[in-house]
Amino acid sequence: MQLQVKMTKMLQLLLRDKNLYFMLLPGLVYFIVFRYFPMAGLIIAFKDYDIFKGIQDSPWVGLDIFREVFSSSDFKDILFNTLLISFYKLIFGFPVPILLALLLNEIRFRFFQRLSQTILYLPHFISWVVIGGIMLTLLSPNYGIAGDIMRLFGVEPFNLLGSRDYFRSILVVSDIWRNAGWGTIIYLAALTQVDPTLYEAAVVDGANKWKQTWHITLPSIAPVIILLLILDIGRIMNVGFEQILILQNPLVRDISDVFETYVYRVGIQRGEYSFTAALDFFKSVVSAVLIISAHRISKRLGQEGLL
Amino acid sequence: MVLKTKMLWRFKFVVVAALIMVWLGGCSGEENTKNNQGAQSNQSGEQNNHGDNVATTGEPDELTIYAYNDGIGLNDGAIKYIEEKTNTKLNITTGIGEEMESKLNVMLASGDIPDIIQYQTDETELKYAGSGILLPLNEYFDKAPQLEASRSEEVWQAMTHADGNIYTVGIQTPSVHFVTMYRKDWLDKLKLEVPTTIDEYYAVADAVSNGDPDGNGKKDTYAFGASGELGRYFDHVFGAFGVLPDYWMERDGRIVNGTVQPEAKEALLFLNKMYENGLIDPEFITDDGNRNKNKFKAGVYGAQANFIWVFDSNNLNNYYTPFKEANPNGEWIEGPVLKGPGTESVGMRMLSQRGWLKTSITKDSKNIDAALRLLDWLASEEGNRFVNYGLEGEHYQVDEKGIIKKTVEVEEAKKYGIDKFVLAKSVSFDTATPRFLEVKDFTEKNALSEPADGILVPEIGKFGKDLKAYTNTEYLKMIVGEMDIDKEFDKFVQEWNDRGGKEFTDALNAAYQERK
């Protein structure tokens, strides 16, 4: 009886908002077809997959392939590189858009604000292939500006991109240069939502700019910051395939190879599908664990979660 | 309180807006892949249709081909001409570089198997042959006599698998295409001779790098550069010490890899010294083949191992002309194999007789006869000359010495489709100048042959690429001084063996003894 009431209620709700649900449908279909359905392919991580036999007829090997992955000499390097580069990108890259947004928000001259904002986020639209070419030229010790600067300071010019000491820093800096401006957009949107009366009240109470930022602006956009942090932590295993693939060279391969580049090189190019499927499976599980924990923590901190 | 709820609501709005943005971002990314997938499945759909067509007599036979992409255009005049000559209709899909074999793998995995396929590595050949999808060509040679005649007995021997079958036609280049060379004009200016020993070489390398041979007052010249991959660009130095890295050589009746020989350590120490003193272009790590080629053409290097094409003033690959344009007084001279400290020196590496590109017919093809007919014509003297140079009178002329002179510009030749469709091409020197042939003979005479060439063991697929990549990284570390060669070379050798090098070497030796 109760169930029936519930069902009728649900049906009524469904009917009432049928247009909205209808609009939701394409999104759902998209996720099921392109995101959930391909997951079935993960079974090749448990099989000795041979392209000529097909997924069906390839023999099951249980967890053998996972054992092979975890004992391979490359695995430790890749995991370490992935976490380290991601960690650097998060530590140095995450605060930059917030700072930029706060600075942009303080510009009172509208035209200049728009202009600088546009200039800041334009690099986001340049593909890594192009940026890679530009960087190769800029950082060239013989012909690039980097070589000129080094000579100016009396340093013997050396190849920055071919240096094991600097390569990861270059990855982080170029990533910030490309994406920080784009990241400000969401914060700027959040900043426009801050109630101006709060600032007025603060001014009356004698708060200076710094105090206003600290006590009003930042707390006001905190939910957005937390949300983006959760998203970033969920992506920590995805370091940026294109960037590393393009900037990489054989000298720094062992210190810059991450899951994505390794899977591409070994899985796609060499055709070791099962091995890399297992590797990627591991990566996805870690990502899922990370994102769920980040969500839990943010809830505990009293912020809005993601799920 | 009211204010707070209102604010919360606004934050929710922001959160939703942010989510929408993220979703849109993800969506547009996905859309690309979706479109690509769509395009691909369309393509394969088309091909399937063609494959199902049953050819009737007189009508052209339809063939689907997966080929190396050197800019093949389906409407190229050359393709039309070949279709006419062989009574076929060609549906060509292409791939290039490292993507070539992965694309083919995906096509095969989806059950879409072309009549003729091309791929590059022995690893892939072994895999396909092992899966039984390739047609044993040796059983069909009576239908393709010109194809059989286009390659020597020795080459077919190298193409033969352990089961006695030949599955592939190899596309070859000259057996040696590198030579040690020096800028003659720079040597004259610096009053130096072509070096014959490794110590003399160091002096010359130092002079061309630091002696400002181009006279512009800047340090912008080097002995040589490379393209990130170790291989050939260092062979003149390694050869002086008696080894070639990543190359199999015979020592006391056993096959060993040059990479892990003690002489390689000496060569690495020498290269490290060159690098530290600015004789090697520091960009050799980040340069790719194209950048290296452009620097070569621009006249940055003066004492190097590089392509012999620069000696050929008729060259299509176009090393000679751009170099001369950038350096009107520039002139190259070939140098002998450098003598090292005591040990026996070796020359340049030889390219595999198996070719750099391989063509196979698939076993389940419905048009085996047409595929054989096509390959047979392409391998014939007429066909090969057409693929290489086009049509006589229209694209080239033969002078009184029998040397082919191209009469059309490179761009025009490309537009017509000359030298692009290399399904069964054999190397031809009909356009070469006598000077080029002289240099070619000079370097071939001194080259070191590879005893393991043509021995196909499964270990190639298992360890080959991994060991190569590992060697490359470690060698580069040693050359640029990131690794202490004296201390760590032995550790490197150990690790190389542990990564499968030992197993690989043993397997090759076993097969080698058997072949003997």
User: So where are chain A's domains?
Assistant: 47-128+161-300
- The predicted structure's pLDDT at residue B50: 37
Clarify whether residues B190 and B108 are in a common domain.
no
pLDDT at B241 over 50: yes
Alpha carbon distance, N-terminus to C-terminus of chain B: 92
Percent of chain A with pLDDT over 70: 98
pLDDT (0 to 100) of residue B193: 93
Instruction: Convert the pLDDT of each residue in B290-339 to its tens digit.
Output: 888 889 989 999 999 998 888 888 765 568 888 888 899 999 999 999 99
B476 interaction partners in chain A (CB closer than 8 Å) = 250-251
User: Which residue spans within B96-195 are E strands per DSSP?
Assistant: 116-119, 169-171, 178-183
Please name which of B328, B290, B346, B315 lies closest in space to residue B440, comparing C-alpha atoms: B315
> If you average pLDDT over residues A199-211, what whole number do you get?
89
Residue B12 included in any domain: no
Given a cut of 60, whether residue B42 has pLDDT beyond it is: no
Give the model's pLDDT for residue A13. Answer: 87
> Which residue(s) pair with B134 in the sheet?
B362
**Closest alpha carbon within chain B to A31:** B27
Say whether both B452 and B340 belong to one domain.
yes
| Residue B144: per-residue pLDDT | 92
Tens digits of residue pLDDT in B335-373: 999 998 877 899 999 888 888 899 999 998 999 999 999
Identify whether residues B313 and B453 lie together within a single domain.
yes
* CA pseudo-torsion sign B185, B188, B189, B193: positive
Position B496 in a domain: yes
All residues of chain B having their beta carbon less than 8 Å from the beta carbon of residue A30 are 27, 30
**Domain shared by B206 and B145, yes or no:** no
For A86-131, the pLDDT digits (tens) are 999 999 999 999 999 999 988 888 899 999 999 998 999 999 999 9
| Highest mean pLDDT pick, A287-301, B194-208, B278-292 | B194-208
Looking at residue B59, its pLDDT comes to: 83
Point out which residues pair with B6 in neighbouring strands.
Answer: none
* Angle of CA points A223, A224, A226, to nearest 5°: 65
Structure tokens at B423: 């399904």
Which residues 6+ apart lie within 8 Å of A285 measured at CB?
A: none
Give B-chain residues touching A254 at CB under 8 angstroms: 473
**Domain limit, last residue, from B425, B458, B474:** B425
Is B300 within a domain?
Answer: yes
Of residues B404 and A280, which shows the higher confidence score? A280
* Mean local confidence (pLDDT), A144-151: 90
Which of the residue ranges A262-266, B8-12, B338-342, B385-389 would you say has the lowest mean pLDDT? B8-12
B225 DSSP 8-state letter? -
Q: Write down the ipTM of this complex.
A: 0.81
Taking an 8 Å cut-off on Cβ atoms, the answer to whether A223 and B34 are in contact is no
Is B453 within 8 Å of B353 (Cβ atoms)? yes
A7-21 CB burial, b ≥16 within 10 A, e <16: eeeeeeeeeeeeeee
Q: How confident is the model at residue A304 (pLDDT cuts 50, 70, 90)?
A: low
Q: Produce one character per residue of A52-89: b if its CB has 16 or more CB atoms within 10 Å, e if not.
A: beeeeebeebeeebbebbeeeeebebbbebbeebbebb
b/e burial code for range B480-492 (CB count within 10 A of at least 16 → b): bebbebeebbeeb
For residue B45, pLDDT over 70 is answered with no
Give the pLDDT confidence of B149-197 residue by residue, as tens digits. Answer: 999 888 898 899 888 899 999 998 778 889 999 999 999 999 999 999 9
Rounded Cα distance, B133 and B131, in Å: 6
Report d(CA A219, CA A217) in Å as an integer.
6
Reference B354, options B128, B155, B494; nearest CA is B155
**B472 neighbourhood in chain A, CB within 8 Å:** 250
pLDDT at B20 exceeding the cut of 80: no
Domain boundary pick from B364, B396, B425: B425
Confidence band, pLDDT 50/70/90 cuts, at residue B13: low
Least CB–CB distance from B283: residue in A51, A159, A164:
A159
CA distance B185 to chain A (A): 23
Domain hosting B508: range is: 178-349+435-515
Q: Which residues in chain B have Cβ-Cβ distances shorter than 8 Å to A185?
A: 21
Name, in order, each residue with C-beta under 8 angstroms of A4's C-beta and a sequence gap of 6 or more: none
CA distance B446 to B337: 7
Q: Which of these, B442, B222, B234, lies nearest to B333 by C-alpha position?
A: B442
Counting one residue from chain A and one from chain B, the pairs whose CB atoms sit within 8 A come to: 104
Q: Decide if B282 and A253 are in contact by the 8 Å CB cutoff.
A: no
User: CB–CB of B47/B114 below 8 Å?
Assistant: yes
Measured between CA atoms, the residue of chain A closest to residue B288 is A249
The conformational region for residue B481 under phi > 0 = left, psi -120 to 50 = alpha, else beta, is left
Q: Which of A51, A184, A217, A227 to mutate to test the interface with B (most CBs of B within 10 A)?
A: A51
User: Are residues B253 and B114 located together in one domain of the fold?
Assistant: no
Are B168 and B92 within one domain?
yes
Report pLDDT for B17.
54
Structure-model confidence comparison of residues B189 and A72, the more confident one: B189
Selection from B423, B348, B428 nearest residue B173 by Cα: B428
Pairing state between β B88-95 and B61-68: parallel
Question: Does some domain include residue B228?
Answer: yes
Q: What is the pLDDT of residue B26?
A: 42
- Report CA-CA distances (Å) from B109 to A92, A174, B102: 43, 38, 10
Higher pLDDT, B63 or B58: B63
pLDDT over 90, % of chain A:
40
pLDDT (mean) for B449-477? 88
In words, the CATH class of domain A47-128+161-300 is mainly alpha
Q: How many angstroms away from the CA of B507 is the closest CA of chain A?
A: 21
* Residue B57: per-residue pLDDT: 53
B14 domain-assigned: no
Residues B100 and B199 in one domain: no
Residue A267 confidence (pLDDT) above 90? no
**CATH number of domain containing B195:** 3.40.190.10
Report the C-alpha gap between B131 and B135 in whole angstroms: 11
Is there a single domain that holds both residue B222 and residue B330?
yes
Residues of B in contact with A50 (CB under 8 A): 131
Give the pLDDT mean for A192-218: 89
B21, A185: Cβ pair inside 8 Å? yes
Q: What is the pLDDT of residue A238?
A: 87
| Residue B27, domain member (yes or no) | no
Is the pLDDT at A228 greater than 90? The verdict is no
B492, part of any domain? yes
Kindly report the backbone phi and psi dihedral angles of residue B160, in degrees, each rounded to the nearest multiple of 5, phi listed first. -75, 135
Q: pTM for the whole thing?
A: 0.81
For residue B230, which residues of chain A lie inside 8 Å, CB to CB?
A: 250
pLDDT at A116 (0 to 100): 92
* pLDDT, averaged across chain B: 84
Lowest mean pLDDT among A164-168, B40-44, B85-89, B415-419: B40-44
Contact list, B469 vs chain A (CB under 8 Å): 250, 253
A198 pLDDT more than 60: yes
- Collect all residues from A whose CB is shorter than 8 A from any CB in B: 30, 34, 50-52, 54, 73, 136, 140-142, 157-159, 161-162, 164, 185-186, 189-190, 193, 195, 220, 223-224, 227-228, 231, 249-251, 253-254, 268-271, 304
Determine the average pLDDT of the residues in B383-400: 85
| Angstrom distance (rounded) from CA B247 to CA B232 | 10
Q: Name the residue facing A162 among B10, B101, B282 (closest C-beta).
A: B282
Q: Residue B55's pLDDT band (boundaries 50, 70, 90)? A: very low
Does the pLDDT of residue B499 top 60, yes or no?
yes
Taking an 8 Å cut-off on Cβ atoms, the answer to whether B3 and A52 are in contact is no
Q: Rounded to an integer, what distance in angstroms lies between the CA atom of residue B99 and that of residue B16?
A: 40
Statement to judge: residues B268 and B330 lie in one domain = yes
In a domain, B32, yes or no: no
Looking at the structure of chain B, the number of domains it has is 2
Of the partner residues A142, A250, A269, the one whose CB lies closest to the CB of residue B102:
A269
